[in-house]
Structure 1
Amino acid sequence: MSGKNPALPIKDHRFLIVGGASLVGSTTADEFLRRGAKEVVLLDNFSFGSKDAIKHLEGNPRVRVVQGDVMRLHELLKAFEGVDGVLHLAAMMTISMDRDPWAGLDVNIRGAQNVIEAARTNGVKKLVFASSNAVYGYGPGVAGDLVESTPFNSVGAPPAAILYGASKIVGEQLCRDAYRRYGLDYVVLRYSTVYGERQHYRAANALYIIETHDRIKAGERPRVIGDGSESKHFVYVGDVARANAAAFEAKATDVQVNVSGPAPTTTLELVQMVCEATGSDLKPEHVEPPAGKVRLTSGGAFKIDHTAAGKAIGWKPEVDMREGIRRLIEWRDETGA
């Protein structure tokens, strides 16, 4: 144990979100502010983060935006001064890893180490590391209930997906090592596929939702890959923001837990929910997987179990897939996103 109380209340404390100008970062900033954070610092290099995602926070006296890069330790050391808690979100995802694996590994591994070093040097009280269900791998061996002890599977999956999952495993172990060496309290949250308002086009599975919506808006039939029985497990971004806050406020440390939605859904069900949310009567067409495109698949029906998160940080999801998609579609229609 670290020898101190690892619980860090959001109220009256200062938090820094690495990768703050993102879907999860901007929504978590809203949650921290709602819970009474003294200050929320949003650090981003804006290579993937969007200033539009945090536009609604402009002028808020409790919000500070810092342009910085996880590959530049000196920038992190300065930004982390006086911060109580750090949420590390910045990472290259599978699609980016496919385009430039070397850069992806640098950002996801060396970047994580830089964040840990800056947190340790500045006496940060707690680090929350955003990991992924990708630590369980992809391919034929991934099926059934995925729990925190499920081993990594790499057989039959695209290299980019395996590189991404492996980079997250390394990031988790760097957190464990910093706890062992220096007593840096941390919680690892293994997100399933995050979706919701301010959705971007970079997450391979979440992309399926907005591409379906784009086709329907264009008057084209939505596409279902294969027979539509393939399982996906999503989690609504507002639930993720609550999990981030809960991880800081809980007494838990040196743990890794899944953060997933209430239940998995099939790709056919997903397309039908998007049609329902848009009021479309277009019938989906079944197509073969597109050649050359990164797809993240499992070996069969699976569920990412979040029971451990309830025990460790007192969290469970509240928004089901149908309601989450309704909110996402409503936001896209209202904003023209």
Structure 2
Amino acid sequence: MSYKHNVGYKLNVDYKQNVGYKDLEFDRDSIFLVTGGAGFIGSNLCEALLDMGYQVRCMDNLSTGKRENIEGFLHNKNFTLIEDDIRNLEACLVACEGVDYVLHQAAWGSVPRSIEMPLLYEEINIRGTLNMMEAARQQGVKKFVYASSSSVYGDHPVLPKKEGQEGKLLSPYALTKCVDEEYGRLYKELYGLDTYGLRYFNVFGRRQDPYGAYAAVIPKFIKQLLNDEQPTINGDGKQSRDFTYIENVIEANLKACLAPSEAAGQSFNIAYGGREYLIDIYYELCKALGKEIEPIFGPDRPGDIKHSNADISKAREMLGYAPEWSFERGIQAAIEWYRENL
């Protein structure tokens, strides 16, 4: 266990080198629909698929996604932006017409915000996801891959987290993702729609928003340190997370699209399988950015899980998931990206 250590991060990492998913092959005329495609994860999925030469539809109402994330794709002949809302079933039906694969990322994130706005989270994360599954079913989509969350493990204390060993849910956000997974199971069992739930563990990387009260911790720390601000750490900093670089998440989504039907209707941990302590990450970022700023320690956030670490064996066996990006490699790339783009 470490709460301060002396391993520095080397910069100058090309995030597009050695990514195994580039070798995956779909029919050349395949059409992908990425909901929430202007968001952090969604825009990276769009970029990866366009780089591979596939047709991509991006559906986003731009409530949390940003047009700047997809600005570079708008003139690509293989890219189509559908500026609409997953709460609109008719829009979902139109978006899914002729689509082979749906990568459903549209949702509102943030545990603390969901505690403040439970009704909105039910409307977007549950009803919106149900609309998308129903549209995919009616339009004959081959595979429906959707974003779930490690928050579904709730207060279950055992590490590493393993599918089938969930505890009491701690937030409305976690509840919405749990309901999504149940609908995913039912849509496979009742209607034959191949659904795959991906339980993301603390995803980070390029284009993740560092601004706002609900910003994720890594981009927020980087932004504040670059601006010589004193960050606040909720709790004592000794909480641990299985931080997962964006390239691993892209791989998981694409491999789920190629997974056998026998794996459908289930959920899978998507992580690297590591464990990093928040206070370690903070001091390593200080070192990498040449800063000596002590953090402020604030109260624990309601609904947060103290420790998180994933068993990814099920995803390895059933999806062929083999994450290549360790936390150390990913944080190097993230630091460099934010240095160039903030």
Q: Same fold (TM over 0.5)?
A: yes
Counterpart residue type for residue 323 of structure 2: P
Whether 1:149 aligns to 2:149 is no
CA deviation vs aligned residue, 1:144-201 (integer Å, no higher than 9, x gap): 21011112324xx4xxxx2111111111111111111111111111111111000114
Q: Which of the residues 280, 302, 306 maps onto 1:269?
A: 280
Q: Which of the residues 52, 59, 63 maps onto 1:47?
A: 63
CA deviation vs aligned residue, 1:257-293 (integer Å, no higher than 9, x gap): 100124110011110221233132x153452327xx5
Report if aligned partners of 2:233, 2:296 keep a CA contact under 8 Å in 1. yes
Q: Which of the residues 99, 110, 113 maps onto 1:96?
A: 113
Q: How many angstroms apart in 1 are the aligned matches of 2:96 and 2:154? A: 33
Counterpart residue type for residue 298 of structure 2: E
Counterpart residue type for residue 138 of structure 2: T
Shift of 1:129: 1.3
Counterpart residue type for residue 149 of structure 1: G
Q: Report 1:273-292 matches (<5 A).
A: 273-280=284-291, 282-285=292-295, 287-289=297-299
Whether 1:305 aligns to 2:320 is no
Gaps of at least 5 residues in structure 1 are 1-6
For residue 326 of structure 1, what is the aligned residue in structure 2?
332
For residue 168 of structure 1, what is the aligned residue in structure 2?
177
Report if aligned partners of 2:184, 2:266 keep a CA contact under 8 Å in 1. no
Whether 1:296 aligns to 2:311 is no
SS in 1 for 2:237: coil
Gaps of at least 5 residues in structure 2 are 1-23
Q: How many angstroms apart in 2 are the aligned matches of 1:86 and 1:220? A: 40
Question: In the comparison of the two structures, how many residue pairs are matched?
Answer: 316
Q: How many angstroms apart in 1 are the aligned matches of 2:222 and 2:162? A: 32
Q: How many angstroms apart in 2 are the aligned matches of 1:283 and 1:209? A: 15
Report if aligned partners of 1:16, 1:86 keep a CA contact under 8 Å in 2. yes
Q: How many angstroms apart in 2 are the aligned matches of 1:220 and 1:103? A: 32
Q: How many angstroms apart in 2 are the aligned matches of 1:177 and 1:25? A: 25
Shift of 1:325: 2.0
CA deviation vs aligned residue, 1:188-229 (integer Å, no higher than 9, x gap): 111111110001148988622123223322324455445432
Counterpart residue type for residue 258 of structure 1: N
Shift of 1:55: 1.2
CA deviation vs aligned residue, 1:58-111 (integer Å, no higher than 9, x gap): 211111110111111011111111111111111111243233210111111111
For residue 82 of structure 1, what is the aligned residue in structure 2?
98
For residue 222 of structure 2, what is the aligned residue in structure 1?
213
SS in 2 for 1:317: coil
Shift of 1:295: 6.2
Q: How many angstroms apart in 2 are the aligned matches of 1:219 and 1:201? A: 15
Q: Which of the residues 144, 147, 151 maps onto 1:130?
A: 147
Report if aligned partners of 2:273, 2:309 keep a CA contact under 8 Å in 1. no
Identity of aligned residues (%): 32
Report if aligned partners of 1:8, 1:126 keep a CA contact under 8 Å in 2. no
Q: How many angstroms apart in 2 are the aligned matches of 1:10 and 1:176? A: 27
Q: How many angstroms apart in 2 are the aligned matches of 1:304 and 1:172? A: 18
Taking structure 2 as the reference length, the TM-score comes to 0.85
Q: Which of the residues 182, 190, 197 maps onto 2:199?
A: 190
Q: Which of the residues 83, 96, 116 maps onto 2:133?
A: 116
Taking structure 1 as the reference length, the TM-score comes to 0.87
Q: How many angstroms apart in 1 are the aligned matches of 2:185 and 2:235? A: 40
Shift of 1:18: 1.0
